């Protein structure tokens, strides 16, 4: 009997209450067990760039301490490698560490699209491009699951900002939804088959993702063939019964049992079919059985080999943005000034929030440079006079700058592209003292570089993981030839971004008026100047492209290394629609990439397979993918703005209508109200900030603040400024219903209803409701 058959047999023996109990977690990290039938629980743990298995007291924000694990570079970094094999290798390593920790499902990767460079959680995501995000997401999922460990692909879907993430609505037209925001998920589901999918907090076109049947059943299961478990993001559930009916299997964390009782009551009263509950229970039992089948009683991993892999990942993913006069790699005779706390005392190597890994060990760049034989002197950069003096006495100055934890984190979005003033001042002080300045940027997203034209070199390290210091040192010394390419555009200003004015404001409904024109699709279609384009990155060698050919199913190009040292080139394939297209299109879209390593003088033919989807768009009128007939252009580039050759390809197809970009028209429905209701009547989706003027609101704020103080007062916990700012922003923007989930059963729905009645001026009814809920 296979697992599916076993699950069906087990569910037949479950009582209604037992089936309902499976639908929520036993605690923060475990599924519910049914001891009567020997159904154990399975453990899940945060990822996605390592394993965050909490020890002792648990929480879902990453504040309480977790067991040491290898901290690999996050997705924002490894995406720049454009290397499927590297992501698969990292996935295997994470899977090994999960197996050793008896964890059955790793909560990751995240393949949400970087709609704005200001999204606070962008460091967890791969790209502004869905093809790249899907390819790399599939690679890491396959790697993790090859070890018998499940993954949870997240956050499904339209979760592209942190502000009001638990109550905001993403208003996305159907073409943009399918072509941009769902495309990466589709790729991973169909090719890598993740064990679970995590739904997002937000609404998508008016319906919470946790109860969105179009997303969770019609598209995910019926169209894409997903047969795994859909799990909620932690405390994302709005209406549990609607969630089960829509296809949400597992609510996390534990609901205190009250949502289980609501499910059972709905079945008894006919509000939910028992068949739907049985399907959910079967999927959950199957997940547990699969988890148990793959558990290893004793498993170890090679700590040092994982650290070396993390170092390799940083070195292969860092992007050399500028190298005037070949200032890099460093000369063996150079006396080098290393300036900035990120270089030694306080390396920035990952983001803040639920993905925060407790690293086994941490390298810093200064120490690694010294180990590699560099004659280096260090200063923290806090004192401008010291910076000036140290820089003036060096041949080359390395300035380490970027974004501290409190600038980018889960839970809040940035408000500008600017670096901290102190970091810019440190760079300016070095420039004033020495013309040979190289800036090493450590950040999880694009930043403004007002000094760009006055430094000779810029190495974008992003966030390098625990071995990032060694990976950066390898590039600076020439031990490794840089090969990273930008997985997102660096704009000149935030006003240039496609969603400017429709991102992370106080609106309840966020309108995606740019439609499909996200990232380079926007900048390149409008020919808008940028700081650095998508796909861009320099090397210590150079490459020639020749012999271009393409047809409807494949494309070829020959790439040669015409420099003096070995190196890797990311060859990018872009497709442009017919010039006479009757539907709006981006000027070109990434539809293939290959990373090739070449010795000096070596050449190689690079071949791409072109799927039908490379030429299709989503037809909102027929609700299907459609090919428009005509002459397409297949282009080969070293970046999205460095096209080395192109071939015209005739594609058969048809289109029966013309369509221009008018968001109000293509949205296809009445747009929801944008503004939030900031007064009475209050409901369960009001935030703590909304009720701060009420006596109950002030009391709840005190309780929450006291709980935070207790957590942050523990010296063993993550208590830096980034976590404190994340906690503050998250708490004030959390809906009241979610506090019920976090209250360990102290605030069940009936009691919350009573509180809402009291706040809405119906004190007697509210007090009676609360009394009856005791």
pLDDT in tens, 466-488: 999 999 999 999 999 999 999 99
pLDDT, tens digit (0-9, with 9 covering 90-100), for 421-443: 999 999 999 999 999 999 999 99
Half-sphere exposure at residue 727, Cβ-oriented, CA atoms within 13 angstroms: 23
CB 156 within 8 A of CB 214: no
pLDDT, tens digit (0-9, with 9 covering 90-100), for 582-622: 999 999 999 999 999 999 999 999 999 999 999 999 999 89
What sign has the CA pseudo-torsion 667, 216, 113, 521?
Answer: negative
Question: Which residues, other chains included, contact 64 with Cβ-Cβ below 8 Å and sequence gap of 6+?
Answer: 54, 56, 57, 58, 711, 714, 717, 718
- Under the banding of pLDDT at 50, 70 and 90, the label for residue 745 is low
pLDDT for residue 743: 67
pLDDT, tens digit (0-9, with 9 covering 90-100), for 86-112: 999 999 999 999 999 999 999 999 999
3-state secondary structure of 316: helix
CB 14 within 8 A of CB 34: yes
Q: What is the mean pLDDT of the chain?
A: 94
655 vs 273, residue with greater confidence: 273
- Secondary-structure percent of the chain, ordered helix, strand, coil, rounded to 5: 35, 20, 45
- What DSSP letter does each residue of 443-503 carry, written as one string? -SS----TTGGG-SEEEE-----TTHHHHHHHHHTTSS------SS-B-S-GGGSTTTTSS
pLDDT cut 70: percent of the chain above it = 96
pLDDT for residue 718: 64
- Burial class (CB within 10 angstroms; exposed 0-12, middle 13-18, buried 19+) of 423: buried
Residues annotated as catalytic are 233
**C-alpha closest to that of 150 among 34, 292, 24, 246:** 292
Half-sphere exposure at residue 182, Cβ-oriented, CA atoms within 13 angstroms: 20
Helix-helix angle 749-759:763-772, to 10 degrees: 170
pLDDT cut 90: percent of the chain above it = 83
How confident is the model over 370-380, as a mean pLDDT? 98
Apex 488 CA angle, 487 and 491, nearest 5 = 150
pLDDT higher than 80, residue 77 = yes
Encoding tokens for residue 316? 């292969």
CB 288 within 8 A of CB 42: yes
pLDDT for residue 657: 76
Apex 227 CA angle, 221 and 231, nearest 5 = 85
CB 41 within 8 A of CB 31: yes
pLDDT for residue 774: 61
pLDDT higher than 70, residue 511 = yes
Give me the long-range contacts of 745-752 (CB less than 8 A, separation at least 24): 745/256, 745/257, 745/258, 746/256, 748/256, 748/258, 748/773, 749/258, 749/262, 749/684, 752/684
Place of tokens 């067990």: 33
pLDDT, tens digit (0-9, with 9 covering 90-100), for 530-588: 999 999 999 999 999 999 999 999 999 999 999 999 999 999 999 999 988 999 999 99
Apex 452 CA angle, 476 and 392, nearest 5 = 60
Strand partners, 69: 359
505 vs 224, residue with greater confidence: 224
pLDDT, tens digit (0-9, with 9 covering 90-100), for 380-415: 999 999 999 999 999 999 999 999 999 999 999 999
- Burial class (CB within 10 angstroms; exposed 0-12, middle 13-18, buried 19+) of 262: buried
Burial 570-605 (b: 16+ CB within 10 A, else e): bbbbbbbbbeebebbbbbbbbbbbbbbebeeeebbe
CA distance 667 to 19: 39
pLDDT higher than 70, residue 285 = yes
pLDDT higher than 90, residue 63 = no
Encoding tokens for residue 143? 């790697």
CA dihedral angle for residue 464, residue 467, residue 471, residue 477, rounded to 10 degrees: 130
Q: What's the predicted TM-score (pTM) here?
A: 0.96
pLDDT higher than 70, residue 127 = yes
3-state secondary structure of 382: coil
672 vs 31, residue with greater confidence: 31
Apex 612 CA angle, 610 and 613, nearest 5 = 95
pLDDT for residue 709: 76
CA distance 414 to 437: 27
pLDDT higher than 70, residue 720 = no
- Under the banding of pLDDT at 50, 70 and 90, the label for residue 129 is very high
């Amino acid at each position: 009997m296979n697992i599916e058959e076993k699950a069906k047999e087990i569910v037949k023996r479950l009582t209604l209450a037992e089936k309902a109990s499976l639908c929520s977690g036993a605690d923060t990290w475990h599924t519910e067990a049914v001891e009567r039938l020997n159904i154990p629980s399975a453990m899940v743990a945060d990822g996605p760039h390592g394993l965050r298995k909490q020890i002792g007291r648990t929480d879902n924000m990453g504040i309480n301490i977790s067991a040491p694990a290898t901290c690999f570079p996050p997705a924002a970094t490894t995406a720049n490698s454009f290397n499927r094999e590297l992501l698969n290798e990292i996935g295997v390593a994470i899977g090994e560490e999960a197996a050793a920790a008896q964890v059955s499902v790793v909560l990751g990767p995240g393949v949400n699209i970087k709609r704005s460079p200001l999204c606070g959680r962008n460091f967890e995501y791969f790209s502004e491009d869905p093809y790249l995000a899907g390819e790399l997401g599939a690679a890491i999922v396959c790697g993790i699951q090859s070890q018998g460990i499940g993954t949870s692909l997240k956050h499904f879907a339209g979760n592209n900002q942190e502000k009001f993430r638990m109550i905001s609505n993403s208003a996305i037209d159907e073409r943009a939804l399918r072509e941009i925001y769902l495309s990466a998920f589709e790729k991973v589901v169909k090719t890598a088959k993740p064990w679970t999918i995590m739904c997002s907090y937000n609404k998508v076109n008016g319906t919470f993702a946790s109860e969105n049947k179009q997303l969770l059943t019609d598209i995910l299961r019926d169209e894409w063939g997903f047969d795994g478990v859909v799990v909620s993001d932690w405390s994302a559930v709005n209406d549990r019964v609607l969630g089960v009916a829509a296809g949400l299997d597992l609510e996390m964390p534990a609901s205190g049992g009250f949502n289980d009782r609501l499910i059972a009551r709905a079945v008894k009263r006919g509000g939910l079919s028992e068949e739907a509950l049985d399907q959910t229970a079967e999927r959950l039992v199957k997940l547990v059985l699969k988890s148990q089948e793959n558990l290893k009683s004793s498993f170890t991993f090679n700590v040092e080999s994982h650290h070396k892999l993390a170092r390799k990942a940083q070195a292969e993913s860092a992007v050399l943005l500028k190298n005037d006069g070949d200032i890099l790699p460093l000369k063996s005779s150079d006396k080098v000034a290393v300036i900035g706390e990120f270089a030694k005392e306080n390396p920035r190597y990952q983001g803040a929030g639920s993905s925060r890994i407790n690293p086994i060990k941490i390298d810093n760049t200064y120490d690694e440079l010294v180990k590699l034989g560099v004659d280096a002197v260090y200063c923290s950069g806090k004192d401008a006079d010291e910076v000036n003096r140290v820089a003036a006495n060096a041949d080359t100055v390395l300035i380490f700058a970027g974004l501290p934890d409190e600038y980018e984190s889960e839970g809040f979005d940035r408000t500008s592209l600017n670096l901290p003033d102190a970091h810019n001042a440190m760079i300016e002080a070095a420039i004033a003292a020495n013309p040979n300045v190289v800036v090493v940027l450590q950040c999880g997203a694009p930043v403004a570089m007002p000094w760009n034209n006055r430094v000779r070199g810029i190495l974008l390290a992003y966030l390098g993981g625990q071995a990032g210091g060694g990976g950066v040192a390898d590039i600076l010394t020439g031990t490794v030839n840089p090969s990273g390419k930008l997985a997102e555009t660096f704009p000149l200003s935030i006003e240039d971004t496609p969603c400017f004015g429709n991102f992370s404001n106080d609106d309840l409904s966020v309108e995606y008026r740019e439609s499909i024109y996200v990232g380079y699709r926007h900048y390149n279609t409008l020919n808008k100047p940028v700081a650095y384009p998508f796909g861009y990155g320099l090397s210590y060698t150079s490459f020639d492209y020749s012999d271009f050919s393409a047809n409807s199913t494949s494309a070829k190009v020959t790439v040669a290394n015409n420099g003096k040292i070995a190196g890797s080139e990311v060859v990018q394939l872009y497709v442009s629609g017919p010039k006479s297209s009757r539907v709006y299109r981006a000027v070109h879209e990434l539809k293939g990439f290959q990373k090739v390593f070449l010795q000096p003088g070596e050449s190689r033919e690079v071949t791409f397979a072109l799927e039908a989807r490379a030429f299709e768009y989503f037809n909102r009128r027929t609700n299907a993918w459609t090919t428009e007939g005509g002459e397409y252009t297949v282009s080969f580039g070293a970046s999205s703005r460095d096209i080395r050759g192109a071939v015209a390809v005739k594609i058969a197809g048809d289109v029966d209508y013309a369509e221009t970009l008018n968001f109000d028209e293509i949205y296809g429905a009445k747009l929801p109200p944008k503004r939030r209701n900031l007064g009475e009547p209050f409901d369960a989706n009001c935030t703590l900030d909304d009720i701060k003027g009420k006596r109950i609101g002030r009391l709840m704020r005190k309780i929450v603040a006291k709980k935070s103080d207790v957590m942050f007062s523990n010296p063993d916990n993550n208590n830096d400024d980034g976590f404190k700012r994340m906690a503050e922003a998250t708490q004030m923007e959390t809906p009241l219903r979610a506090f019920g989930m976090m209250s360990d059963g102290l605030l069940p729905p009936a009691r919350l209803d009573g509180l809402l009645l009291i706040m809405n001026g119906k004190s007697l009814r509210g007090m009676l409701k609360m009394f009856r809920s005791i």
